[in-house]
Amino acid sequence: MTKKYQQDRKIYSGGQKMRFIVLLLSMGSVVLFGYALAGMGGYLLGRGRLDYIVTGLLGGFAAAAAALLLWKKYLDMIFMEDTRGKGRDDG
């Protein structure tokens, strides 16, 4: 195996884990926002739950923000490796 192939494979496996964590955080935010909607929908039936609303909104926004920050970090990692690879190929 060539050195470049080994390096690209290492980046892919690290990025794959990061993308999986972003996927879980994104799905978690959808579930938590669903809790907030369930709490608000309960008011239509006369049994609203304020704790569901607060937990769902705070958790949903926290999970979404974490997913976006981690995705930005992943894109920066890919961009840095891409520019480093181009510089190595040119010289």
pLDDT tens-digit map of 29-53? 999 999 999 999 999 999 989 999 9
Inter-residue contact 52 to 42 (CB < 8 Å): yes
Q: Does pLDDT of 90 surpass 60?
A: no
Give the tens place of pLDDT for each residue, 55-77.
999 999 999 999 999 999 998 88
Nearest-angstrom CA–CA distance, 8 and 81: 9
Q: Which one is predicted more confidently, 78 or 11?
A: 78
The answer on pLDDT for 10 being more than 70 is no
Cβ atoms < 10 Å from Cβ of 17? 10
Say what the pLDDT of residue 9 is. 58
In this prediction the pTM is: 0.74
